[in-house]
Amino acid sequence: MSLAYPRKLDLACTPTPLQYLERASQRWGRGHRLWVKRDDLTGCTLSGNKVRKLEFIAAHALDNDYDTLITCGGLQSNHARATAFVGAQTGLKVHLLLRGDTPAQADGNLLLDHLAGATVSCYPKAQYVAEIDDLFRHWQQHYAAAGRRALAIPTGGSDGIGAWGYIRACEELAGDFAREGIESAHIVTASGSGGTQAGLTLGVALHQLPATVWGVAVCDDESYFLNKVAEDANDWANRYQQLPLPDIEPRVLDGYVGRGYGIAEDHIFELIADLASLEGLVLDPVYTGKAFAGMLAEIEKGRFASCRDIVFVHTGGIFGVFAQRDRFNS
């Protein structure tokens, strides 16, 4: 389908490569060909999936006279870091509302947030969970009183505007499939805020890709993400009513959160190290490490037996590795 996209900024280094993991396929594939869509290569400080969404969100902000971006996430949020650098590149002020106590020393993504010049406000987890909507309203009113206009961006940039990022990425995947002779595939991605999965699910349907999208829950559960993907898809349809909402069937792989969001068990760190030495591919312990582990477990169960090719969407997160350096065995 030929789509009329809204305006976006050209911030990401795209298209990203689709890389065949030959040795990983031999070790873990059980007859499947394992591929990785290298969205960890969308940039340096902008690396990962979030910049695809922010290209559309930041364009929307500039086109509607916003001068400030407010968003939220954990202390090591990839989305918060990407938003901070999008602001630095576009001249938009950025204010980050982060979940967790202020650490004695900033590391990983949090260090980069500060380097990018973002204003950072940290809130204890209980307060953050209970009051995040009120905090957004408070800071929007604060900036309005100062004569500024602030756009509130939801967690992960996951809404109908952000969905365009991965609807567009599916155009790249269509070209990747044709070039590599992939006739049908399962597409697997980490689901933390649900927006990437929503965009991929919409994009596969709109571009009629011969693929099934699976989100591996790295927080919350299957019920939450089934609802969240549907919510983002409906938000997209309501915002862009000139386009029909396609029939979609979100699919979630549950049971891989472990002890909680951002808390990875030893086998995840071992897998990250194994894959790094096997393929030169670095995952992170919050999102992609858990998602890749979930994908391998589902291969063992025969979940993907219907086709030979499995495409893992690498959503980035390398900076989060440094904040958990003590969990890796040297």
Task: Note whether 253 and 291 are same-domain residues.
Answer: yes
User: Residue 189: inside a domain, yes or no?
Assistant: yes
Task: Note whether 183 and 323 are same-domain residues.
Answer: yes
Number of domains forming the structure of the chain: 2
CB of 119 closer than 8 Å to CB of 70: no
How do residues 67-111 score in pLDDT, each as one tens digit? 999 999 999 999 999 999 999 999 999 999 999 999 999 999 999
Q: Which pLDDT score is estimated for 300?
A: 97
**CATH number for the domain including 70?**
3.40.50.1100
How sure is the predictor about 131, in pLDDT bands with cuts at 50, 70 and 90? very high
Task: Note whether 199 and 293 are same-domain residues.
Answer: yes
User: Residue 207: inside a domain, yes or no?
Assistant: yes
Instruction: Indicate the average pLDDT of the chain.
Output: 96
Q: Which pLDDT score is estimated for 262?
A: 85
Q: Which pLDDT score is estimated for 199?
A: 98
Task: Note whether 254 and 179 are same-domain residues.
Answer: yes
User: Residue 5: inside a domain, yes or no?
Assistant: no
How do residues 134-144 score in pLDDT, each as one tens digit? 999 999 999 99
User: Residue 12: inside a domain, yes or no?
Assistant: no
User: Residue 1: inside a domain, yes or no?
Assistant: no
Task: Note whether 105 and 251 are same-domain residues.
Answer: no
Q: What Å distances lie between residue 141 and 62, 144, 319, CA to CA?
A: 19, 5, 32
Structure tokens at 313: 């969407």
**Nearest 5°: phi and psi at 47?**
-65, 145
Task: Note whether 212 and 269 are same-domain residues.
Answer: yes
Is residue 1 over pLDDT 70? no
User: Residue 278: inside a domain, yes or no?
Assistant: yes
Residue at a domain's end among 116, 132, 157: 157
Average pLDDT, stretch 6-26? Answer: 98
User: Residue 130: inside a domain, yes or no?
Assistant: yes
Q: Which pLDDT score is estimated for 75?
A: 93
How do residues 24-36 score in pLDDT, each as one tens digit? 999 999 999 999 9
Residue at a domain's end among 123, 157, 191: 157
Kindly report the pTM of this predicted structure. 0.96
Task: Note whether 174 and 283 are same-domain residues.
Answer: yes
User: Residue 13: inside a domain, yes or no?
Assistant: no
Q: Which pLDDT score is estimated for 2?
A: 74
Task: Note whether 260 and 312 are same-domain residues.
Answer: yes
Q: Which pLDDT score is estimated for 326?
A: 85
Task: Note whether 35 and 63 are same-domain residues.
Answer: no
Task: Note whether 76 and 215 are same-domain residues.
Answer: no
Residues belonging to the active site: 77
Residue at a domain's end among 157, 186, 207: 157
Burial (Cβ within 10 Å: 0-12, 13-18, ≥19) of residue 294: buried
Is residue 119 over pLDDT 60? yes
Task: Note whether 68 and 80 are same-domain residues.
Answer: yes
Domain that includes residue 210, residue range: 18-47+160-327
How sure is the predictor about 330, in pLDDT bands with cuts at 50, 70 and 90? low
Task: Note whether 193 and 306 are same-domain residues.
Answer: yes
Q: Which pLDDT score is estimated for 110?
A: 96
